[in-house]
């Protein structure tokens, strides 16, 4: 177990925590409601909804996706660290591929021909020239991926939590008189 912890420790350090936010402009703006335990403690429903929210916003072609994801989690009382962390799936490496396939999905749903070959110089030309298919593809992908994450987390939570508790059980000291 110690090896697994050391592998994820660098990633866990990047997850926002209450102590990082307390006393900041965000705390002054949103008040103490920001620190209610249901927004920060990992529960089955909170994490599932936070992941669905984060993945939805991760699929949107907007900058600073963590901001709307965190605001949505705050307003609807989902797990904030999960909602913000899941957005990191889209990054400069994965973003062009995801946008391309979202555009293709949107064009297919609208029954439009997606430009290919020399006419499609870059992904940005496609996005600037034809925003309808791209936005439709982003919305559909965000909803589908969010729903899938919600379902998977709810389905797997019990098994993972049970395994975690078993691995962290401490041996009970025998009570005097027990054999």
Angle 105-109-115 (CA atoms, 0-180°, nearest 5)?
60
Check if the beta carbon of residue 54 is closer than 8 Å to that of residue 82: yes
Q: What is the pLDDT of residues 97-134, one digit of tens each?
A: 998 899 889 989 988 775 555 555 666 665 565 678 88
Entry pTM: 0.71
Q: What is the pLDDT of residues 33-79, one digit of tens each?
A: 888 888 888 888 999 999 999 999 999 988 899 999 999 999 999 99
146: tokens are 């969010």
The pLDDT assigned to 124 comes to: 66
Q: For 12, what's the count of Cα atoms within 13 Å in the CB-facing half-sphere?
A: 6
């Amino acid at each position: 177990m110690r090896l697994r912890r050391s592998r994820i420790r660098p990633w866990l350090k990047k997850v926002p925590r209450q102590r990082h936010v307390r006393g900041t402009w965000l705390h002054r703006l949103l008040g103490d409601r920001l620190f209610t335990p249901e927004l920060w403690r990992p529960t089955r429903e909170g994490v599932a909804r936070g992941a669905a929210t984060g993945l939805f916003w991760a699929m949107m072609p907007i900058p600073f996706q963590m901001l709307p994801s965190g605001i949505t989690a705050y307003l609807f009382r989902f797990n904030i660290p999960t909602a913000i962390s899941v957005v990191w799936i889209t990054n400069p490496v994965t973003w062009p591929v995801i946008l391309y396939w979202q555009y293709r999905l949107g064009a297919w749903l609208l029954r439009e021909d997606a430009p290919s070959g020399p006419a499609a110089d870059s992904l940005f030309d496609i996005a600037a020239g034809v925003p309808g298919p791209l936005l439709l593809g982003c919305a559909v992908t965000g909803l589908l991926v969010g729903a899938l994450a919600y379902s998977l987390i709810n389905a797997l939570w019990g098994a993972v939590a049970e395994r975690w508790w078993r691995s962290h059980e401490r041996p009970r000291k025998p009570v005097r008189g027990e054999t």
